[in-house]
Amino acid sequence: MRYLVLLLLVLLLLVLLLLVLLPLPVSAGQTIQGMVREVYDGDTVLVVTRSDGRLKVRLYGIDAPETRKPDRAAQPFGSQAKRVLMYKLLGREVLLEVRERDQYGRAVAVVRQGQRDINAEMVAEGMAWAYRHYLDGPYASRYIGLEEQARRRRLGLWRQSNPQPPWEFRQAGKGHGKRRR
């Protein structure tokens, strides 16, 4: 009997320990603080937090040119956008304003470094498009306005005469590598 009680206490402690150590799922409206440990491309980073561990984050409301992948070439300005985001964030503390989770399980967030809206900066500097399909609320008008200013000033990717948006580039690449009959 004593062993059964002891076993139940140990199990209870293990369950409590797991609840404390396992991260809770990230949800919309949540604000998370962490440090950027990796930059994957011009709109995706890895953030390490105390409460959630490693969190892959997609910058809300923007779409940067694609970087080189094993199965496809990079878009013009893809590597530049990645380098700019690395310079802004790598190794720095950020505040994430989580808007949602995407289909890949990434947190989609407005990334702030101090008082700076990094998502907005990427668009304003011509390193990303305002991703109109997924924008809403006050961010929509702000990011679209910043994109239009960058376009008029021919900043970043807007130096090209007719840059291809990343969503079109990805769509065109879906058929790449498949055999045609």
Catalytically active residues, by annotation: 58, 66, 106
Query: What distances in angstroms separate CA 62 from CA 4, 6, 38, 110, 117, one per listed residue?
Result: 56, 54, 18, 10, 12
- The DSSP output letter for 59 is E
- The DSSP output letter for 24 is P
For residue 97, give the H/E element and its range: strand 93-101
A 10 A CB-CB count for 90 gives 15
CA triple 114-80-89, angle to 5 deg:
20
Count CA atoms closer than 13 A to 77's CA, side-chain side: 24
For residue 110, give the H/E element and its range: strand 107-113
